[in-house]
Structure 1
């Protein structure tokens, strides 16, 4: 195991530990103070305009919208011949969705029943929208960062990604379908998933490059 992979896996395990601590606090009902304070803070933003904006961000973070955008990116990767990246890209996003379903079934946390603006079914922890947003925009940032040639473009890509991730998470709190701790939990476990996956992928690319280099030496 090389140093980069070791560091990324170590960070992923650290994030997993944070997630488990958060889950423990939720199970013991010791996080209501944090949730209540943030819900109160977000509720101060209520207005017809804010509600329309938040519904828009929630739609952008929905499974339908993420799936459509992912299919468009997959089509683009196919056209330009990036099949290896395509498999990794789709695997990360699909894996995140499956992980969310498993975690929801494990923790069985009911959704909040106050300040409800829209309806949502299923369990609450961790937030599926937050996980989907963090995974989708996180992995998209990773690929675009690798291919962006200019510093200003990289800064723009990261800024847009961060804003989208945060606003989608806030929209779920605003609309009353998730506790803040659901959103934080979704971010943390998604970050762990992406970190471990990117570390493994980078290791795969390194080994592939070393194998090609070795074969070229034999040929010459």
Structure 2
């Protein structure tokens, strides 16, 4: 297929696997088949995690918030533009805001209620009279996309293997921390965060494919 060369076979397998996982989670969530398991895991976490861990996770979960990811994304984009890497700056901004749009649309498609009381959308200290649904986790999507981009840039542009490995490990750990924090603080069910990570990886590869497709077209026409 003419699409294939723009991404390696391994990348296609990861993207398709994550899409399959998201679809599976979507079906079970839509049919409410996993409600009992989700509730049981959430209850166990609430009852067994120490207050110190909860407080720590309440701090770390901010790394998936709009207040954190949007300014950081803009700052990185400005730095990339200053380095004349416009294609990666555009990639990041499309990845970030497109991912937020995808998450928002999916939430309204499934309209799954959060654990506990229903809440409204909040951003930058403002509350909007829009229901904040649970599936998939928006914090998880935003945090995962940001740190996936960091991993991508580090993997391709850092020359020292030791630093590269360190950044990749830390970024991967932060994805896991932000995702799991949403369950610990009682904001989401486990299936919400799994779906958030899965759809984020799919969206990352969609954007990467688009970036490479556009760059290829530019080179062809040059």
Q: Which category of TM-score, normalised to the shorter sequence, fits these structures? A: 0.7 to 0.9
Provide structure 2 residue ranges, at least 5 long, that are not aligned to the other structure: 123-130
Q: Are 2:44 and 1:32 aligned?
A: no
Residue pair 1:135, 1:194 contacting (<8 A) in 2 also: yes
Deviation, 1:71, is 1.7
Picking from 43, 50, 66, the partner of 1:46 is 50
Q: Are 2:13 and 1:3 aligned?
A: no
User: Larger % of strand: which?
Assistant: 2
Q: How far, CA to CA, are the matches of 2:62 and 2:174 in structure 1?
A: 12
Q: How does 1:67-216 map to 2 (within 5 A)?
A: 67-113=70-116, 122-206=132-216, 208=218, 211=220
Q: Are 2:15 and 1:12 aligned?
A: yes
RMSD value, Cα: 2.4
Provide, for residues 20-46 of structure 1, a one-character-per-residue CA deviation record: whole Å limited to 9, x for no partner: 111110121211343234324433122
Q: TM-score, normalised by structure 2?
A: 0.84
Provide structure 1 residue ranges, at least 5 long, that are not aligned to the other structure: 216-220
Q: How far, CA to CA, are the matches of 1:175 and 1:126 in structure 2?
A: 16
Larger Rg: 1
- How many positions carry a matched residue from both structures? 208
- Compare relative contact order (CA 8 Å, sep 6+) and give the higher one, 1 or 2: 1
